[in-house]
Amino acid sequence: MRLKCLIAGTVMAGTLAGAALPAFAVDELHVPLFSYRTGPYAGSGIPIANGMHDYLTMLNERDGGINGVKIRVTECETGYDTQKGVECYEQVKGDGALVISPYSTGITLQVIPKASVDKIPVLSMAYGLSAAAEGNTFPWVFNPPDTYWDGASAIVTDIARREGGAENLKGKKIGYIFLDAGYGREAIPLLEQLSSDMGFELMQYPVAGKEMQNQSSQWLNIRRDRPDYMIMWGWGAMSPTAVKEATKIRYPMDKFYGVWWSGGNDDAAAGGDAAKGYRTLNFHGVGSDFGAIQDIKKFVVDAGKSEVDPAKFADNLYNRGVYNSMLIAEGIRKAQELTGKTVIDATDMRNGLENLDITEARLKEMGMEGFALPMKLSCEDHSGHHKVYVVEWDGKDWQKSGDWFSPDVDMVKPLLKKAAEEYAASNAPWPERTEACLN
Amino acid sequence: MLYRESGQYKTSYTADQAIFPIREDRIGMGIIGVIALAIPFFVSDFFLNAIMTPFLILALAAIGLNILTGYAGQLSLGTGAFMGVGAYSCYKLTTIFPDANIVILVLLSGLFSAGIGVLFGLPSLRIKGLYLAVTTLAAQFFLEWCFIRIPWLYNYNASGAIEVPERRGFGDIILTGPSAAPMTQYFIVLAIVVVVTLAVKNIVRGRIGRQWMMIRDMDIAAELMGVRPLTAKLSAFAVSSYLCGVAGAMFIFFYLGAAEPSAFSITLSFQILFMVILGGLGSLVGSFFGAAFIWGLPIVLRAGFPALGIGIGAETVFHIATMIVGALIIFFLIVEPHGLARLWSLGKEKLRVWPFPYG
């Protein structure tokens, strides 16, 4: 009996393995999404994945895809784990993927060197390697609308504005609490530079990934050090924990800044009423009063084609997912326009993203007037260093606080250039750009 | 009928002591060898890159842990960190000596790991079992802390990650880095794993391996019979950490391509421990079974559900795969507590008397 079981088991396993070969189809645009709806980062990952997925589904439902070609959206679960991310990358690479959205700085760092070899563009929207904004060094990587260094610079700019000028920052203490991983460390070089330029003291409070939900020791130190401002680079379960701890030590919340990724509704809501005043950066609209968002509601959510919890529809991170998918869709549209084909490949997609030019008129046409600012990329600049604004938590929702303003681009750009050169040198021989520039 | 050793007479001690004394086993190994050499020509890059290469590397790591836990009886939870030591030392070596052949550096980096392993193995002379597990756990956390907090180890990289540079060798073939062909990397990994496994097999069958097993089965009796616990235990730690170090270096250089410290977390240690327990303690072939099961099954399940046309969300597939793997581990351990290796040898015994079983 045992032998039969053994044979039967082997045969079954074999069939399953055989069935696992990917199927190919034609006339479609394959957009894989690396998502994480499981694990400690799911709190941030779910709204992002829903927003991205729903916008693309809406285009399929409303317009029948992009210029008549359906988008095939696939999700690959990474759990924010770099190993699984690489596995996902290998999986979609052979499946006609047009663009990779890793949604993790760690995974982005892993796929950057691979992408230029496999000729697949990586769209790390406002995350990933800041230096990747240098299009001549990283022709296959895009990080619009802003890099982390822009983010750090923007926060310090806003603090300087409130203090009445950059010169008043001298002698101030600014604390930096960050996820101790590729993501949180990305901003450190710039903050250190700013601290030596402006004369404020930078105090670092790293939070290990495993200890995200236990930050009492860090906040104990913060209570002792009493920094004048706090900046947070948090993601997943880290952000709500930090907000809660900050309210516990009665840190003045209006002096607590998060980067755009720490701006989930659930992140701020964790602090309850006491979290009022907590602020994060943003580069897209909040709420559902936009044509495109209403279309998603009509064609996707109300039609039961979405996984989103209706109560969390159009929250801040959901809208960010929508914004990200809008960039993907516009990249595809631009690539179709440039090549004259409707079915494009990853190389065309790269050109499409590089020549991305979203005008005010185009935003209006998409139903995104007021949702986002016009943006434009070029061969040299894959990020654009666009304007951002600050949103403030009012206890229930995010409210716009102040106007759109620009990060200190003149300061960030040369540093990015230097960082890109360093990256290329330490990864020598780094391939020279051979892709033609179309703009 | 197919698998019977009757009529095979050994006429020399050499023949009797061979690794595979039965002719059918040698034929079987030959077939596996041919398949291993031919497989890259028939499968996709995904299969090679995401399944075969990491499977072989993790099998080597499982063999490493099996030496320590299965053969020498010293429980360790620091496997992931020892792999990390191998990876980081290989990275440092290749940035200091960019012209040296990477395969040699991979094999050398195991020595650093062996050194660290011996150091953290010292407490094993005084403590046993769970208490020893706690000290290896300390090694895990301490080394992980080093990977994060000592910037020299990752050449002061701003993101704290190590990125594998491109290295050529064997007549200008690209061996590592993103441009390396999956096939090249597979063959290098295969060669290293086969050679090292053969070496380990011979160590395990010889004097040193027998010392380990004596220590495992009853250390006092072993000591009375003249086995020195110091050399036996520390050599087990050294060999085990060496293998883990080599596996860790290969994991980064021939599979991942870049790594954050979190790649060598306690999760990896547990993953390898599960491979060893499920595969079978004290069995080399079991290490391969365990690695194939733990690494391969989730991938097959994840790729299998959509291929069978079951349209469910990616995260549901993920949850189901996790549940199935967990359930199967429990199932296998209830049905066969000695692991897949025991199941394999039972299968072989049944096959010997097939199709006319007796008794």
- Tell me whether 0.90 is exceeded by the ipTM: no
Q: What is the rounded (10 degree) CA torsion for A88, A93, A99, A100?
A: 20
Residues A409 and A276 in one domain: yes
Query: pLDDT value at position A389?
Result: 94
Within-domain flag for A173 = yes
Alpha carbon distance A59, A295 (integer Å): 9
Residues A204 and A272 in one domain: yes
In order, the DSSP letters of A265-334 are HHHHHTTGGGGTT-EEEESS--SS-SHHHHHHIIIIITTT-----GGGTT-HHHHHHHHHHHHHHHHHHH
Residues A132 and A181 in one domain: no
Chain B residues lying within 8 Å of A21, measured CB to CB: 44, 307
Beta bridge partners of A69: A66
Alpha carbon distance B299, B168 (integer Å): 31
Query: pLDDT value at position B49?
Result: 87
Residues A126 and A174 in one domain: no
Within-domain flag for B290 = yes
Query: pLDDT value at position A283?
Result: 94
Residues A168 and A316 in one domain: no
Which range of residues forms the domain containing residue A124? 29-146+286-386+416-426
Q: Can the peptide bond before residue A145 be classed as cis, meaning omega within 30 degrees of 0?
A: yes
Alpha carbon distance A82, A183 (integer Å): 12
Alpha carbon distance A283, A380 (integer Å): 22
Q: Which residues of chain A have pLDDT under 50?
A: 1, 15-25
Alpha carbon distance A411, A416 (integer Å): 9
Q: Which residues contact A172 (CB under 8 A, 6 or more apart)?
A: A163, A200, A201, A228, A229
Task: Say yes or no for a CB contact (<8 Å) between A17 and B304.
Answer: yes
Structure tokens at A105: 């700085």
Task: Say yes or no for a CB contact (<8 Å) between A94 and B46.
Answer: yes
Q: Which residues contact B111 (CB under 8 A, 6 or more apart)?
A: B242, B245
Q: Which residues contact B181 (CB under 8 A, 6 or more apart)?
A: B174
Within-domain flag for A362 = yes
Neighbour count for residue A367 (Cβ, 10 Å): 14
Residues A51 and A174 in one domain: no
Within-domain flag for A256 = yes
Residues 255-294 of A with CB under 8 A from B: none
Residues A321 and A176 in one domain: no
C-alpha A381 chain-centroid distance: 18
Residues A291 and A258 in one domain: no
Q: Which residues contact A14 (CB under 8 A, 6 or more apart)?
A: none
Query: pLDDT value at position A223?
Result: 94
- Residue B251, classified by CB atoms within 10 Å of its CB into exposed (0-12), middle (13-18) or buried (19+), is buried
Residues 314-343 of B with CB under 8 A from A: 314-315, 317-319, 343
The domain that holds B336 is classified in CATH as: 1.10.3470
Within-domain flag for B53 = yes
Contact A99, A328 (CB under 8 A): yes
Within-domain flag for B181 = yes
Task: Say yes or no for a CB contact (<8 Å) between B256 and A86.
Answer: yes
Within-domain flag for A3 = no
Q: Which residues of chain B have pLDDT under 50?
A: none
Contact A173, A230 (CB under 8 A): no
Angle at A31 between CA A30 and CA A35, to 5 degrees: 140
Contact A337, A323 (CB under 8 A): no
In order, the DSSP letters of A72-94 are EEEEEE-TT-HHHHHHHHHHHHT
Task: Say yes or no for a CB contact (<8 Å) between A106 and B318.
Answer: no
Identify the sign of the CA torsion B178, B180, B182, B188: negative
Task: Say yes or no for a CB contact (<8 Å) between A22 and B307.
Answer: yes
C-alpha B260 chain-centroid distance: 21
pTM of the model: 0.86
Which range of residues forms the domain containing residue B214? 43-353
- Residue A235, classified by CB atoms within 10 Å of its CB into exposed (0-12), middle (13-18) or buried (19+), is buried
In order, the DSSP letters of B293-311 are IIIIHHHHHHHHHHHTT--
Residues 299-318 of B with CB under 8 A from A: 299-304, 307-308, 313-315, 317-318
Within-domain flag for A18 = no
Within-domain flag for B31 = no
Alpha carbon distance A372, B5 (integer Å): 76
CA distances from A147 to A127, A200, A283, A380 (A): 6, 22, 12, 14
Please state at what angle helix B53-65 crosses helix B284-291, rounded to 10 degrees: 140
Query: pLDDT value at position A17?
Result: 47
Q: Where are the beta strands (DSSP E) in chain B?
A: 162-163, 167-169, 173-176, 258-259
Q: How far is B136 from chain A (nearest CA, A)?
A: 19
Alpha carbon distance A176, B62 (integer Å): 40
Longest Cα–Cα distance of chain A, Å, equals 83
Residues A407 and A261 in one domain: yes
Alpha carbon distance B120, B141 (integer Å): 12
Residues A186 and A262 in one domain: yes
CA distances from B273 to A18, B79, B142, B269, B276 (A): 28, 8, 19, 6, 5
CA distances from A121 to A105, A351, A380, A433 (A): 15, 9, 15, 14
Query: pLDDT value at position A10?
Result: 56
Straight-line distance from the first to the last Cα atom of chain B, in angstroms, rounded to the nearest whole number:
17
Does the CB of B5 have a partner CB in chain A at under 8 Å?
A: no
Residues A161 and A275 in one domain: yes
In order, the DSSP letters of B205-217 are HSHHHHHHHHHHH
Residue reference for tokens 């052949």 = B101
Q: Where are the beta strands (DSSP E) in B116-233?
A: 162-163, 167-169, 173-176
Count the domains in chain B.
1
Contact B176, B165 (CB under 8 A): yes
Task: Say yes or no for a CB contact (<8 Å) between A426 and B163.
Answer: yes
Within-domain flag for B37 = no
Within-domain flag for B259 = yes
Residue reference for tokens 């407490």 = B123
Query: pLDDT value at position B299?
Result: 82
Query: pLDDT value at position A250?
Result: 92
Alpha carbon distance A80, A169 (integer Å): 36
Residues A274 and A192 in one domain: yes
Mean of all residue pLDDT scores within chain A: 89
Within-domain flag for A438 = no
Does the CB of A53 have a partner CB in chain B at under 8 Å?
A: no
The domain that holds A309 is classified in CATH as: 3.40.50.2300
Nearest alpha-carbon partner for A56 in A80, A83, A29: A29
Does the CB of A79 have a partner CB in chain B at under 8 Å?
A: yes
Within-domain flag for A95 = yes
Within-domain flag for B270 = yes
Please state at what angle helix A316-339 crosses helix A346-354, rounded to 10 degrees: 110
Task: Say yes or no for a CB contact (<8 Å) between A117 and B179.
Answer: yes
Residue reference for tokens 């130190």 = A221
Within-domain flag for A16 = no
Within-domain flag for B206 = yes
Chain A residues lying within 8 Å of B300, measured CB to CB: 13, 16-17, 20
CA distances from B178 to A358, A433, B234 (A): 33, 16, 38
Query: pLDDT value at position A19?
Result: 44
Contact A186, A151 (CB under 8 A): no
